[in-house]
Structure 1
Amino acid sequence: MALSFKKKLLSLAFTGLAAAAVLPLTAQSSLAAELKLGLFADVSTLDPHFNNIAPNISLSSHLFDALVNVDATGKLIPGLAVSWKAIDPTTWEFKLRRGVKFHDGSDFTAEDVVFSLDRPATLTNSPGPFTSYTKQIVGKEIVDPYTVRLKTATPYGPLALDVSTIFIVSKKAAQNATTEDFNSGKALIGTGPFKFGNFERGDSIELVRNDSYWGGKADWDKVTFRILTSDGARLAALLAGEVDAIDSVPPADVPKLKTNPKFSLVQRTSWRTIFWTLDQSRDKTPDITDKSGKPLDKNPLKDIRVRQAISKAINRQALTERTLEGLGTPASNIVAPGILGYADKLKVEKYDPEGAKKLLAEAGYPNGFALTLHGPNNRYINDERVVQTVAQFLSRVGIQTKVETFPLSVYFGKARNGDFSVALLGWGTLAGDFGLRTLVGTTDAATGWGSWNWGKYSNPQVDKLVQSSLSSVDEKQRQDFAQQAATVALNDYAVIPLHHQYATWAVRKGLKYTPRIDEFTFAHQFHPQ
């Protein structure tokens, strides 16, 4: 009987199924192992160039590599390029890694790099384009199969950071492929640490280990990502042992998990800033009326006094302590402290409801007006509650405020279409000039500027300072220009920062993970202890 049981156990281990459920992680390390992760945010597509949102980028990082990768602290490190340098003010040379194979066994070469850098511009129906990272490249030269030179129209210092967001696909597999071909797995051929297994939209993604990965084998034969957007469902799956770790731990459950010996918590201040975008381009905006419901003749948000009043009405300290339950810190910038371009001179707006009322009266709204706030209900920490809390603050200063929230899959499309007057957005970046270019730069499809500028804010002075920052090869000059641009934009209330959120993972005992500033959950960076 003992021998029969041993044979059965070994059989289960080789299949990587039941053994993962009955053995502790430490015992799994020598057997076929499966890692199961519970994710808060839904993955909308497996096409790495279609929709520039964090959940998609995080998942793509398992299947693909970029020329330049980013470590857990936000530092740039070699990826498919082993080195890069500016050989003149407008030319960057990338030396490519030799011997890298795609999942189908074909060789990775410079041809794949050029194709991948060209592809985002061909996806004209993208809801979140990657073109802001590629538009500055005006020329691509293949020197040899393992050397690529990228040319820019003007000097451009941060090109390596730009291309860290563009994943390299197989030209052979993707040349005539549609986004649906990626979602089905047909064109999903990368060089990453895992290969495609299965994709059930809104439910789960299964990956299998790439044993030929140039960066070394992952510890897991198979990885299953379960999409668990409900906080309760995600926590229940962890407690029941259905997943080995979860991201975006529900704030209310952090204290209990900290004292539970079966789990450990890992945390890091995130690069993500949560802020309000405001419609500043249209003379009439859809969600603002007088208090009887009659549309106003003009858009109050075009008046800086109204934007400042909204900011002063928000008690950010109470918001982070109570609504976020301590998992955030009040923000004055659109990038987190320590990120290039963070302006120390900008201070968190003081909570001043009386000052807000005074500003509204000066702007011609002594009795306020009616406003609907919009936000997602399944993307950021307690996002729906954040919207509701801010609505309460605004109502106290005379702005009669309603709330509408949507699932992320619906919300982003509506916001980008201009359906909202005031919309909640979270953004993370490793450089302030990048964030400013994307979020408040004057929208220009030809250059990719303002691709996430929902409020259509435009300020030539900000644009000029951001361009000066991006054109600076000298790091100190770039920092100075980026700080100046941030100061001008935020003193103009281009957007209204709320808070920087914390990233928190809960991990089963016997498993370790290094928390990332970008909040990404990478299966290949989980390891048995």
Structure 2
Amino acid sequence: MKPRNSATTWKARASALLLALLAAPAAAQNLTVATGAPPTSVDPHFYNAAPNFALSMHIFDRLVERDAEVRAYPGLAASWEAIAPTVWEFRLRPGVTWHDGRPFTSEDVAFSVARPPLVPNSPASFSPFVRAIQRTEVVDALTVRFHTALPHPLLPIELGSIAMVAKHAAEGRTTEDFNSGRAAIGTGPYRLASSIPGDRFELARNDSWFGQREPWSRVTYRVIANDTARTAALLSGDVDLIDQVPSTDLARLKRDPRVSIAEIQGLRLIFIAFDHSRTGSLPQVSDHEGRPLPVNPFMDVRVRRALNIAVNRDALVERVMEGAAAPAGQWMPPGTTTHAPEVPVPAFDVEGARRLLAEAGYPQGFRMTLFTPNDRYPNDARTAQAVAQMWTRIGVRTQVEALPWTSYSARSARQEFPARLAGWGSSTGEAGSFLISVIGTFDRAAQRGAANAARYSNPALDALTDRAATLLALEDRAAVLREAIRLASDDVAVVPLFNITNSWATRRGLVHQPRMDERTVAMGTRPAP
């Protein structure tokens, strides 16, 4: 596993970025970014997915922002404090205006935190980040208070995921109104100039932004899903920055004098989730003669454990990811506050997997289909194919169906897949977001399980998650979260595969700051000094 960053490397990059900022030329410059995963909407509350979030960061701001190592710092909120055990007061930054010149106020904040649960057809809602808020109190134009039922120390961190949208522009508008630009009025460093869905977004600098002036007068945010084409676009000079550097190209690009590489240990876990929405037969799961199984085999923990230990994670990292990842037995990577060191990477054990299948009543195994995106995560379809071969070895004959991300995400949200390869980046920097959003029991009213397309449910796990959310002391909260990680691991809530190392490549002459949350933003790119 690559280190997160040595102190020397980090200081050098930080110094280079600072010098670049100071040396940034006054003349207008353009930047062209090529991302490997397509944002599916401009609406910042529609889909809690990294490509969407990255795009929204250019146009919209949040009360609390997070830096490249997911540390919180003031955004649209100048300060915040808990003025009572269940009341958080946020004081807003004065003088901030929307892209259309109207002032940003507490009324916009109240509207923005109320909106996420109301966005229809969201594949993965932002509602878990506002689930603790019982009432929003507008004190005055620049002061807002959030009332919670119980003490909720994580609220400022959670609000770091909620974009502020203009009430006057977004009220009564739909996600499509954001996509067309009619409602896409933010306070961010760039404004949306035009877009071609699935192809590119044109962003123009907001010269009235409250932050430090951006060096790029215009940013073209392109989607180039094909790895080879993305690398070729960089080398030909068609684009200035690419993300998701193909692992097959990484070593070569590091030697190329025309290119600079930026890397950091990422927070994203690649995992496999099994369907828990049905107890009876599952589509595309059958015996070896093609007859549907009478019951859902994934409801049996012995089957899940068998498939878990049948995966050779070292081989995945070495042969598929070519070293650009680290084997995982949980969703938080080592070095984060809530990583549980007592939960190891599962040992590869083919014979043990076969014994567990026999105990569960499947001595000959069965047949199934594993679904995966083919343009969302580095080597996603290749990873699924490798896992399918490992499962076939223990008698679970697995075929892979790979789909474009836009189709995959919509079908996954409708519980159409018996098993799926997916990813989750814990951008809050702690274990709670995965527990609430991905493996928390799906409950729309409680705003839990918004990204739990598999519909896994474990009430004991939910209870630990709720308990952790009320603990004020960081170490007390971390201890409960580590207990939850142990429980989720024992129950095989998901099959964790590996944590990705995030990488970007720029043309020589640019400096890019790598982010643990993998978001690709123009604000992290500067002319080299």
User: Is the pair's TM-score, using the shorter chain for normalization, greater than 0.5?
Assistant: yes
In terms of Rg, which structure is larger?
A: 1
| Aligned partner of residue 216 in structure 2, secondary structure | coil
Mapped contact 2:368–2:399 kept (Cα < 8 A) = yes
| Aligned partner of residue 27 in structure 2, secondary structure | coil
Match of 2:188 among 188, 192, 196: 192
Q: Which residue of 2 aligns with 1:295?
A: 292
Q: Which residue of 2 aligns with 1:422?
A: 419
Mapped contact 1:343–1:487 kept (Cα < 8 A) = yes
The alignment of Structure 1 onto Structure 2 pairs a total of residues equal to 505
Q: Which residue of 2 aligns with 1:443?
A: 442
Q: Counterparts in 2 of 1:135-150, with a 5 A limit?
A: 135-150=131-146
**What is the distance in 2 between the residues matched to 1:98 and 1:341?**
36
1:454 correspondence with 2:450: no
**What is the distance in 2 between the residues matched to 1:338 and 1:492?**
24
Mapped contact 1:267–1:502 kept (Cα < 8 A) = yes
Q: Counterparts in 2 of 1:309-388, with a 5 A limit?
A: 309-388=306-385
Q: Which residue of 2 aligns with 1:477?
A: 476
Q: Which residue of 1 aligns with 2:406?
A: 409
Mapped contact 1:135–1:446 kept (Cα < 8 A) = no
**What is the distance in 1 between the residues matched to 2:210 and 2:26?**
22
Q: Describe the superposition over 1:229-259 as per-residue Cα deviations: whole angstroms up to 9, x where unpaired.
A: 0001111110110001100011111111111
Which runs of structure 1 show a deviation greater than 6 angstroms over 4 or more consecutive aligned residues? none
**What is the distance in 1 between the residues matched to 2:494 and 2:29?**
46
1:46 correspondence with 2:36: no
Q: Which residue of 2 aligns with 1:22?
A: none
Percent identity at matched positions? Answer: 44
Q: Counterparts in 2 of 1:73-92, with a 5 A limit?
A: 73-92=69-88
Q: Which residue of 2 aligns with 1:516?
A: 515
Q: Describe the superposition over 1:331-363 as per-residue Cα deviations: whole angstroms up to 9, x where unpaired.
A: 011122233422111000001111111111111
Q: Match for 2:508: what amino acid?
A: K
Q: Which residue of 1 aligns with 2:462?
A: 463
- How far residue 296 of structure 1 moved from its aligned partner, in angstroms, is 0.7
Unaligned runs of 5+ in 1: 1-25
Q: Which residue of 2 aligns with 1:14?
A: none
**What is the distance in 1 between the residues matched to 2:180 and 2:362?**
54
Q: Describe the superposition over 1:281-337 as per-residue Cα deviations: whole angstroms up to 9, x where unpaired.
A: 422222210001100111111111110100111100000111111110000111222
**What is the distance in 2 between the residues matched to 1:339 and 1:447?**
28
Mapped contact 1:339–1:432 kept (Cα < 8 A) = no
Q: Match for 2:457: what amino acid?
A: S
| Aligned partner of residue 373 in structure 1, secondary structure | strand
1:209 correspondence with 2:205: yes
1:181 correspondence with 2:180: no
**What is the distance in 1 between the residues matched to 2:56 and 2:455?**
29
Q: Match for 1:199: what amino acid?
A: S
- How far residue 27 of structure 1 moved from its aligned partner, in angstroms, is 11
Q: Which residue of 2 aligns with 1:119?
A: 115
| Aligned partner of residue 164 in structure 1, secondary structure | helix
Mapped contact 1:117–1:166 kept (Cα < 8 A) = yes
Match of 1:269 among 246, 265, 268: 265
- How far residue 453 of structure 1 moved from its aligned partner, in angstroms, is 1.5
Q: Which residue of 1 aligns with 2:488?
A: 489
**What is the distance in 1 between the residues matched to 2:26 and 2:73?**
30
Q: Describe the superposition over 1:242-283 as per-residue Cα deviations: whole angstroms up to 9, x where unpaired.
A: 001100011111111111111111101110001111123422
Q: Describe the superposition over 1:356-408 as per-residue Cα deviations: whole angstroms up to 9, x where unpaired.
A: 11111111111110011111000111000000000000011111111101111
| Aligned partner of residue 161 in structure 2, secondary structure | coil
**What is the distance in 2 between the residues matched to 1:500 and 1:327?**
9
| Aligned partner of residue 99 in structure 2, secondary structure | coil
- How far residue 179 of structure 1 moved from its aligned partner, in angstroms, is 1.4
- How far residue 125 of structure 1 moved from its aligned partner, in angstroms, is 2.2
1:252 correspondence with 2:251: no
Q: Describe the superposition over 1:19-38 as per-residue Cα deviations: whole angstroms up to 9, x where unpaired.
A: xxxxxxx9993432100111
| Range 296-305 or range 388-397, more displaced | 296-305
Q: Cα RMSD (Å) of the superposition?
A: 1.4
Q: Match for 1:287: what amino acid?
A: Q
Match of 1:155 among 151, 161, 176: 151
Mapped contact 1:335–1:435 kept (Cα < 8 A) = no
Mapped contact 1:205–1:226 kept (Cα < 8 A) = yes
Q: Which residue of 1 aligns with 2:64?
A: 68
Unaligned runs of 5+ in 2: 1-21
**What is the distance in 1 between the residues matched to 2:40 and 2:275?**
26
**What is the distance in 2 between the residues matched to 1:296 and 1:447?**
33
Mapped contact 1:340–1:482 kept (Cα < 8 A) = no
Q: Which residue of 2 aligns with 1:18?
A: none
**What is the distance in 2 between the residues matched to 1:340 and 1:107?**
38
Q: Match for 2:161: what amino acid?
A: T
Q: Match for 1:427: what amino acid?
A: W
**What is the distance in 2 between the residues matched to 1:119 and 1:450?**
17
Work out which structure has the larger RCO, using CA pairs closer than 8 Å and 6 or more positions apart in sequence.
Answer: 2
| Aligned partner of residue 113 in structure 1, secondary structure | helix
- How far residue 124 of structure 1 moved from its aligned partner, in angstroms, is 2.6
- How far residue 114 of structure 1 moved from its aligned partner, in angstroms, is 0.4
Mapped contact 2:277–2:415 kept (Cα < 8 A) = no
1:35 correspondence with 2:31: yes
- How far residue 410 of structure 1 moved from its aligned partner, in angstroms, is 0.6
